[in-house]
């Protein structure tokens, strides 16, 4: 068994990842919409990176929780190799009260397409108590996606 495989044996369960995302709702900075969103991203080494939505008074610089998590994970990766991301839990609600699904927006799905393969799972939390969530693959949420492979042949 490789070290990589061993560490992944210690991976969180899907429920634990959802619970981490739920805990992160309190970090949201959403003074304008009041909608708190949180995401927890897991890579194949068992590393977890959380993210929250961060709004801005001029609106357009606002960033979603999912992108905050991805950009943080990429910025803080060890070495030059990108992590292999395996799944992300996403949760949201008005002032942190979860009353239904907050699926990733189209821009976040495109960011997932940049860093994830077809096996990547998105866990969309529906309720906290009891914990319920739906699991989607990236191809289900972004069919016919545009990704790095479309540009990698250029210049070769
Ligand atoms: Zn988004």
pLDDT in tens, 74-111: 999 999 999 999 999 999 999 999 999 999 999 999 99
Q: Is residue 156 part of a domain?
A: no
Range(s) of the domain holding residue 50: 3-150
At 128 the pLDDT is 97
Catalytic residues: 66
Q: Is residue 22 part of a domain?
A: yes
pTM for this entry: 0.90
Question: 53 C-alpha to center of ligand 1: Å?
Answer: 8
Q: Distances in Å between the alpha carbon of 54 and those of 1, 5, 74, 156? A: 41, 34, 18, 40
Euclidean distance between CA atoms 72 and 49, whole angstroms: 7
Q: Is residue 58 part of a domain?
A: yes
- Whether the Cβ atoms of residue 145 and residue 116 lie closer than 8 Å to each other: no
What is the arithmetic mean of pLDDT over 48-75? 98
User: Strand (E) positions, 18-120?
Assistant: 35-43, 48-52, 85-94
* CATH code at position 44: 3.40.140.10
Question: 48 C-alpha to center of ligand 1: Å?
Answer: 19
Question: 135 C-alpha to center of ligand 1: Å?
Answer: 17
Count of domains in the chain?
A: 1
- Whether the Cβ atoms of residue 81 and residue 63 lie closer than 8 Å to each other: no
């Amino acid at each position: 068994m490789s070290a990589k495989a061993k560490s992944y044996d210690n991976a969180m369960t899907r429920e634990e990842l959802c619970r981490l995302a739920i805990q992160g709702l309190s970090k949201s900075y959403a003074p304008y919409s009041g909608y708190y969103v949180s995401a927890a991203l897991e890579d194949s080494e068992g590393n977890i990176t959380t993210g929250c939505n961060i709004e801005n008074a001029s609106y357009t610089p606002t960033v979603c929780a999912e992108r905050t998590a991805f950009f943080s994970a990429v910025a803080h990766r060890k070495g030059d190799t990108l992590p292999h991301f395996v799944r992300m839990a996403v949760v949201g609600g008005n002032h942190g009260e979860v009353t239904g699904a907050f699926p990733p927006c189209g821009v976040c799905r495109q960011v997932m397409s940049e860093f994830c393969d077809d096996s990547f799972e998105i866990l969309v939390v529906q309720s906290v108590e009891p914990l319920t969530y739906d699991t989607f693959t990236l191809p289900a949420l972004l069919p016919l996606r545009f990704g790095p492979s479309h540009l990698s042949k250029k210049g070769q």
